[in-house]
Structures are given as structure tokens and as C-alpha cells.
A and B are shown apart, each in its own frame.
Chain A
Amino acid sequence: MFSSTFLFCDHLTGERASWLAAVIGAAVGRCPAGNPGRVNIFLTGDALFSLVDARARPAWAALSGLPSVQVIADADELRLQGLSLPGSTWTPGARVTGTGDRGSFWGELVSTLEREWGGTKTAAFLLCSSPYMSRVPVYMLRFLAQAVEAGLHPELYCYLDGVHTLHDGQRPSEFENIGRGVSALAGTAVHSCRDPWFAACSRCATARGYYQMNPGTGFCEPASCIQDIAIRNLKEILARFPDRHPVASHASGESVPTENEKEGAPHLVVFITNPPYGTEWTFGGISLAIAAAAEGIPTRVVFIEDGVYALYGTHEVPENDRIFNIQEMIEATTDIDGLSYFVHAPSLDDRGIDRKGGFPAAKRVTNEELSSILFSAKDGSTPAPAMRVLFF
């Protein structure tokens, strides 16, 4: 038996809704009769369009038809997007929360996660998107504000473009000031005797100019940064992951076996969903997975949706280009203890990609097998581990 919660803030395609429905359906099907587990899927931001998208509707209908699955939509964002409140004709089973009360969608998410993690004292958000270009930092602030209100210690991990949150002197004319929001959140937390732990990845911060070498000392120092977020290496950020607390993100999930609510460090599943080189998502996701495994966190990387292109063909980096060859990166790290690679077979099939004879480093998995990875079953006397799921 398990309890599982997903949060989606970004565009959620029909493809993702379909495989999620198949994977969750398989997990619920494996549960003993009368004890089907619990799955909560929280939707906000662009993910809400999925509820009205004809390509995704059959999947939502299938999910909502499962008695143990709840789809929870953010009422404020529904109104913002011009989406009429869902009726039973197109989103059977979807529930709307937050009407007239901005905090309640996030409040319900935080209380669900708190319950799932059996008395956690912390809630964290992994922020990978930059303020203003993306609305995800606004959701991060709402989530962490609710965490503080619930008496939890807020933690923020800025990664990839999320490190732009660090920038001092943000002054948006039309949007919520994210830098100021983070500082206010830190202040509120301290005022409530909570301990905020806000960090930004040093590699990402260095690349974006927020962490510069002081030639006098030979060490890097923050440059133009707000003081409430410390620049730390990824290893230090990942050292927070063995603690049993939720880590939400723009697209994230978790599965906590109910017989194991208070024991054992959570494992990690990283979904690579983007093509390999056009953005930093694939490199960032694999880097985080490798670093997590090196820290002793059992980690599975699943290439899925457009992420399967990372395994297509044979990549050759031109001599004058400075970029990691993703395929070499995967092949060189297959011997790391606790790290394993998988590729989602339906994503390959949908794209007409035939991997016969190519890339044995990543094991092909069906939806049923993916379901076993995400919602692991108890193995004899060994309790099933809790899983954190992050989408890149």
C-alpha cells in the first residue's frame, strides 16, 4: 500500500497524462482489494489546460474513475486561465480547491504532503525556472509560504535557471517581485521560529555570473546576490535529500509506502523528458542524478517522452563545441553504485524509434514496469522505499 502525490505546474501533454494514467492504474491494480492506495494529483498553472485538452481527457477520465485517485485543480489559476470550472462532462472526478481563498490549494497540497511523510518538519521546493519568464517561482513562494504557515521549516533549492532568483535588485513593473518574496519568506520563517534553508547550486550560479572568482583569494564569492539564498555545491543540496520530507517542483511526485511512513531514506527517480542538447534540462537532470547516486541515494533515471532522443543514434560533439556528450556521460557512469538507467518503451514506439542493437546502458521498460519502479512493492521482509520523483 502506498500514498502518492504529484504536482504539475507546467504544460502537461496528452502523452504524459496517458502514461501517468497507465502507470498509476497498474499500481492501483496491484494493491490488495479494499486497500487500493491513495494518489493525489495537484494541477495548477499551465497544467490545468490538460483538463480541457481532448488529447488528455481520456487519460483524466480513466484516472478519475479510479476510486483511490483524486485530481485537484487550483481554482484561482482556473479563473486566471479563463477555464470554466470543470463540470462532470469533461473532467469527471476532478475537484476544484482554492475558490475565494488563495491559500487553500497550496494549503491542501502542504497538508497532504505533511500527512504522507508522517510528521515531517520540513517542506522543500526544487526551483529550476527563472522568475518572470516562468510563473513557477510564484508557485514556489505560495508553496513555501503555506509550509511556514503549517509550522514547517521551508527549504529552497535553486537549480539550473532557478538560480536567477538570487539576483539582487529585481524590480518587475508588472509581476510579483520574486527576490523580495524570498527575502520576506525567510523573514517570516525566522519570525515564526522556523529555520529557512535556501540554497542555489554553485555550478549553475557560476555559469550565470552570480558566483565569481576573487583573484586575490583564488575562491569564488557571490556577486549581485540577495543574502537570503546561500550558494552551495550540489553535493550539499543533495545532502538534504536523505531526510524524509517532501521536495516539490514544477513537475514532481512522490510515493510513500504506508507501512514505511517513518523509516528509511527516500530513493530518487529522475525523468528526462526533453531532447538532449537544446536546453540544459537533460544535462541538469542527469548531473543531479549522478551526484545523488554518488551521495549514496539510490537513483533511477528514466528517459521518457522527448527525453528518449538522448538515446537515439550516435552523438558526436564537434571539436570546437563545448558541451558534454550525453551518451558518453551515460555510458561512463553505468558503473556507479545505486545508479541505473531506463528508457520508456511506449515513448520510443510513439516516435518510431527502433533501438535494436543500440544503447544497452538503458533498460527498456513498459508502463507496467515503470509502475513497479515508482510504486515499489515490499520485498519479503524489506520494506519498500519511499520514492521522490523529479521531472527534467
Chain B
Amino acid sequence: MESDTMEANDAKDFTELTCTNLMIRLKILLNKVSQGDVVTFYATREQVDNTCSPFSRQGYQVSWTQTAENRYLVRIGR
């Protein structure tokens, strides 16, 4: 429970990025993470559907939980 709160506090807010720029930012971040590490951030429903979900087709583990109206805490890891 405590680690979930820490994770949510550390998560960057990407809700204002366009889908293209979110994709670019995630590609840059995921290029830098090692096996087993996770990138955590906030995204909108549109970003989750259009940008985050497709990463699962590239071998990444993608999951999310809704935290507010149109706000999701997303985790993408290798």
C-alpha cells in the first residue's frame, strides 16, 4: 500500500502531451530502463488507448489504474 502511494507520488504527469509526443517520450525513457524496471506516469484515457496499449505489442508489460475522471496511473516495464 505504502509503495503504491510512493509510486503514485513519483509518477510524472504526461496528461498534457500529445499522443505522438508521449510515444516519443516513452520510447526515450524505455530505451534507458533495464530489464525488470518500470516507467510510471499519469495519462488520459485517449493516451492509454492510442499510445500506451500499443507498447504491449512490442514486448512491454503495460497496466493502468484509474485515479480520477480521465486520469490513469500507467505502468510500462520490460
Contacts and interface: CB of A to CB of B under 8 A. Distances in A.
Interface of A: 202-203, 206, 218-219, 233-235, 287, 290-291, 294, 324-325, 328-329, 331-333
B52 to A, nearest CB: 14
- Chain B interface, >50% SS class: helix
A235 B70 contact: no
- Chain A interface, >50% SS class: helix
A329 B68 CA distance: 30
Contact of A218 (B16, B25, B69): B69
B20 A291 contact: yes
B5 to A, nearest CB: 22
B68 A333 contact: no
Contact of A203 (B18, B23, B69): B18
A332 B20 contact: no
Nearest to A330: B24
Interface string B13-31: 0001011110111011001
Nearest to A286: B24
B24 to A, nearest CB: 5
B78 interface: no
Nearest to A220: B16
Contact of B18 (A202, A218, A329): A202
A333 B24 contact: yes
Contact of A328 (B21, B28, B69): B28
A337 to B, nearest CB: 12
B19 A218 contact: no
Interface of B: 16, 18-21, 23-25, 27-28, 31, 50, 68-71
A108 to B, nearest CB: 36
Nearest to A294: B20
A219 B27 contact: no
Given A325-B28, A329-B28, A332-B31, A218 B68 contact: yes
Nearest to B69: A218
20 contacts: A206-B16, A218-B69, A218-B70, A218-B71, A233-B19, A234-B20, A235-B20, A287-B24, A290-B20, A290-B23, A290-B24, A291-B18, A324-B21, A325-B28, A329-B24, A329-B28, A331-B31, A332-B27, A332-B31, A333-B27
What 6 pairs between A and B have smallest CB-CB spacing?
A: A332-B27, A291-B20, A218-B70, A203-B18, A332-B28, A218-B69
Contacts of B23: 290, 294
B21 A203 contact: yes
Given A235-B20, A294-B20, A329-B28, 4 more contacts: A218-B68, A287-B18, A290-B24, A331-B31
Contacts of B27: 332-333
Contacts of A234: 18, 20
A219 B20 contact: no
Contacts of B70: 218-219
Counting chain B CB atoms within 10 Å of each CB, the highest count among A234, A291, A332 belongs to: A332
A318 B77 CA distance: 26
B18 A324 contact: no
A203 B23 CA distance: 14
A325 B20 CA distance: 15
Contacts of B20: 234-235, 287, 290-291, 294
Contacts of A324: 21, 24-25
A329 B50 CA distance: 19
B73 to A, nearest CB: 15
A246 to B, nearest CB: 24
